[in-house]
Structure 1
Amino acid sequence: MLFPIRCLLIFVLLTAVPGHAVRAQEVAFDLNPLPREGRTLDDFTPRGWTVADKTDGDLNADGIADIAAILVPSSTDSTAEEGPRVLLALLGGAGGKFRPAGHNGGFLVCMHCGGVKESSGVEIKRGVLIVHQLTGSREFTDQTWRFRYDPKLSRFVLIGKDRTDGDGLLGTGDKVSFNYLTGFRISERYRYDPKRNREITLASKKEKIPKTTPFLEDVGME
Structure 2
Amino acid sequence: MRLYRKLAACALFGASLSLAAAQSNGDPDGIPPASRPKLNTSGRTVADFVPAGWKIDQQASGDLNGDGRPDVAFVLHGTNKALLMPNESSGDQMFDTNPNILGVALANADGTFTLAGQNGYVVPRWTPGRPTPTFGDALSLTIKNGTLAVELTVEPMDPSITTCIFRYQHSRFELIGYKRWEINPGTQMERTYSVNYSTAVEVVADAAPGHDATHRLKLPQKPPLALEAVHGMDDLERFAKLGPVPNERWIQ
**Cα deviation 1:111-170 (Å, max 9, x = unaligned):** 4666477511211001101110012103122100110001x3x21000011012323453
Aligned to 1:79: 94
**Cα deviation 1:71-94 (Å, max 9, x = unaligned):** 111347772342322210000102
For 1:212, the aligned partner's letter is: P
Aligned to 1:10: 23
Distance 1:172 1:179, change over 3 A: same
For 1:27, the aligned partner's letter is: A
Which one has more relative contact order, counting CA pairs under 8 Å at least 6 apart? 2
Separation of aligned partners in 2, 1:12 and 1:155: 24
- Is residue 221 from structure 1 mapped to residue 232 from structure 2 by the alignment? yes
For 1:156, the aligned partner's letter is: F
Q: Is the 8 A contact 1:158 1:214 kept in 2?
A: yes
Separation of aligned partners in 1, 2:64 and 2:103: 13
Separation of aligned partners in 2, 1:92 and 1:64: 6
SS at match of 2:95: coil
- Is residue 43 from structure 1 mapped to residue 40 from structure 2 by the alignment? no
Structure 2, unaligned stretches of length 5 or more? 1-18, 85-92, 234-252
SS at match of 1:9: coil
**Alignment partner for residue 147 of structure 1, among 159, 166, 180?**
166
Separation of aligned partners in 2, 1:207 and 1:201: 20
- Is residue 129 from structure 1 mapped to residue 128 from structure 2 by the alignment? no
Give the alignment of 1:22-61 within 5 angstroms: 23=32, 26-31=33-38, 34-61=39-66
Aligned to 1:167: 184
SS at match of 1:29: coil
SS at match of 1:80: strand
Structure 1, unaligned stretches of length 5 or more? 194-198
**Alignment partner for residue 68 of structure 2, among 63, 77, 81?**
63
Report deviation, 1:187: 2.4
What's the TM-score once normalised by structure 1's chain length?
Answer: 0.79
Percent identity over the alignment is 26
Deviates more, 1:77-86 or 1:101-110: 77-86
Aligned to 1:210: 221
Separation of aligned partners in 2, 1:47 and 1:200: 53
Distance 1:186 1:50, change over 3 A: same
**Which is richer in strand?**
1
SS at match of 1:185: strand
**Alignment partner for residue 91 of structure 1, among 106, 115, 129?**
106
Report deviation, 1:70: 1.3
**Alignment partner for residue 107 of structure 1, among 122, 128, 131?**
122
Alpha-carbon RMSD across the aligned residues, in angstroms, is: 2.7
What's the TM-score once normalised by structure 2's chain length?
Answer: 0.70
